[in-house]
Amino acid sequence: MTGLELLCQVCTLAFFASAAASRPSEEQEAVRYLLQFGYLQKPLERLTDDFTNAEVAAAMRSFQLASELPPTGLRDAATLEKMRQPRCGVEDPFNQKTLKYLLLGHWRRKNLTYRIYRYAPDMAASAARRAIQAAFKYWSDVAPLSFREVQHGPADIRISFHGAYSWICSRPFDGPGKVLAHADIPKEGTVHFDEDELWTEGSFRGVNLRIVAAHEIGHALGLGHSRHPAALMAPVYGGYRPHFRLHFDDINGIQALYGKKTLPATPAGTLPGLQPTSPSLPPAKVPDPCTDSLDALMFGPYEQTYAFSGGYVWTVTDSGPRPLKEISSLWKGLPAQLDAAVHSPRTKRSYFFKGDKVWRYHGFQLDAGYPKPLTRISAKIDAAFYWPVNKKIFLFKGTGYWQWDELGWNNLSSYPKKISMLFSGVPSHLDAAVAWENGRVYFFKGGQYWRVNAQLRVEKGYPLSTTERWMHCEA
């Protein structure tokens, strides 16, 4: 157990002792949560366990910010609901400076052993072993680490299931729900799961052992909690995902600790249809990436960035633009002079907007029933991007924007909202916009571009020249 956790444990107990013995009020519940997970800290010199309203409100605000709720500092229903979600028992001292992965320590050796001491009552030992093995593999797939299970003797990482009362661990679990598991940072090696949860694999029922184990192993390897809600290292359990993968923030974190795994080189230029095939020039005007304006930009299929202008598309790489292709030679049936384009890695669909219609493609195949008329947003939009941070699609027109969830129910009646209400320093009447996997957003207008940080503010030094930086043209 680390000193930090020990300290927190002591103040949590002190708070429990002072709280009423009966069922806690919502106020007590909220304060207890903020205290338990490191948002509220009692100064050591203070003797009583009372916090001022200002202290509680400030802690509430940092919890709300970390949970992507409006930072009101008020104990509202949405905040309480978030606090009741199943989560990890480790505190949330997020990396305040960079909002990136947080590093808490590391092992000097890269070949580690693990041992499972005690299994869950409701899950077969063989299934639990396979889930834990798969959990280790997420990390050894991306970092030069290896994990070997041992059945006897000492092990670097010691895995066990325990409940509310146990001689194994000084930190009791809390029955079904709420805290699911906890772990210690290197070189403690403790990884514990709450035996009162229904641990499962391959099911939406219960709690997925593989995903939670991968999270706790992340702690045991030295990672703290991530502020990316989609990261494995986010504190709240995101539910069972059949095709679960590590988030880029998880990968960057583990690679910052242990370096990159050297992978066999992938063949270059495997993108279908983008190789120059026919020498005959098509009749339409071929745009010049150094002078012509952009209709749309898309971070699209095959992790390529596509730039659209007139009837043409090209991919933008670190070494500049690749050869231009006719749009319709890649996406059959798609018109020229697009308004906007956006690709969603969530559904693997690409959306193209022109006039009052939207086209939807899966890879380079038009989905049945498309194009469809745009009904709930304006025609002739300016730009669109998919934001991996909240998995929503943002659409822009003039001074306004819409936020749209592909898979959820959308109440678009409160849209369009003013761009300036969400993004500060971003111009209106955009040409194009694109967001990277890392959540950074780029806005384009008239030969210039603006980069926006995780707080949705334009960063210092922008705008910069699009043609110089993106198309590698001479100044």
Region near Ca ion per CB under 5 A, out of 45-53, 93-101, 187-195, 258-266: 187-195
CB nearer to Zn ion: pick between 1 and 7: 1
Adjacent-strand bridge partners of 394: 385, 403
- The first and second tokens of residue 164, run together, are 């509310």
**Which residues are at the interface with Zn ion (CB under 5 A)?**
88, 90, 169, 171, 192
CB nearer to Ca ion: pick between 345 and 398: 398
Distance of closest approach, residue 89 Cβ to Ca ion, in angstroms:
8
Integer Cα distance of 68 and 199 in angstroms: 28
Integer Cα distance of 32 and 173 in angstroms: 15
Distance of closest approach, residue 414 Cβ to Zn ion, in angstroms:
35
CB nearer to Zn ion: pick between 90 and 419: 90
Residue 195, interface with Ca ion (CB under 5 A)?
A: no
Q: Compute, in degrees rounded to 10, the torsion defined by CA atoms 297, 302, 304, 308.
A: -30
- 162 annotated ligand-binding residue: no
- The first and second tokens of residue 72, run together, are 């009101």
Integer Cα distance of 49 and 41 in angstroms: 10
- 318 annotated ligand-binding residue: no
Helix (H) or strand (E) holding 214: helix 209-221
Region near Ca ion per CB under 5 A, out of 38-46, 178-186, 265-273, 341-349: 178-186
- 339 annotated ligand-binding residue: yes
x/- track of binding to Ca ion for residues 361-390 (CB under 5 A): ---------------------x--------
CB nearer to Zn ion: pick between 37 and 352: 37
Catalytic residue status for 468: no
Choice among 188, 216, 468, 474 that is catalytic? 216
- 156 annotated ligand-binding residue: yes
Region near Ca ion per CB under 5 A, out of 20-28, 246-254, 293-301, 350-358: 293-301
Sign of CA dihedral 352, 353, 354, 357: positive
* Identified binder of Ca ion from the candidate list 29, 49, 141, 174, rule CB under 5 A: 174
Residues 15-74, interacting with Ca ion (CB under 5 A): none
- 247 annotated ligand-binding residue: no
User: Among 359, 331, 71, 346, which residue's Cα sits nearest to residue 230?
Assistant: 346
DSSP per position, 219-279: HHHTB---S-TTSTTSSB-----TT----HHHHHHHHHHH-PPP-PPPPS---TT-S----
Give the interface size with Ca ion as a residue count (CB under 5 A).
Answer: 6
Integer Cα distance of 367 and 155 in angstroms: 52
Residues tagged active-site: 216
Q: Which residues in this chain contact Ca ion in the complex, by CB under 5 A?
A: 174, 178-179, 194, 295, 382
